[in-house]
Chain A
Amino acid sequence: MYKNKLTLKIFFFIVSTDILETFTQYCFKRSAIPQGDVFIKNFLDVIIFLKPIVFSGFLWLGFLSVFVTFVIWSSILSKIDLSVAVPIASSSYILIPLVSIFFLGEVMSLLDWAGILFIVIGVVIVSSSIKKEKAIIP
Chain B
Amino acid sequence: MNQHVSIFAILFLIILSNVFDTINQLFLKTSVNSLNLNINSIRNVISFILKLILIPKVWVGFTFCTLSLLVWLFVLSKADLNYAFPVGSAHYIFIALGSRVFLKEKVGFKRWVGTIFIIAGIIMLTCSNY
Contacts and interface: CB of A to CB of B under 8 A. Distances in A.
Interface of A: 1, 71, 73-75, 77-79, 81-84, 86-87, 90, 93, 97, 109, 111-112, 114-129, 132-133
A82 B128 contact: no
Given A1-B36, A112-B128, A126-B114, A86 B92 contact: yes
A118 B45 CA distance: 36
Contacts, number: 135
A93 to B, nearest CB: 6
- SS class of chain B's interface: helix, strand, loop or mixed? helix
Contacts of A112: 124-125, 128-129
A74 B99 contact: no
A126 B35 CA distance: 24
B26 to A, nearest CB: 7
Interface string B6-37: 00000000000000000001101101110111
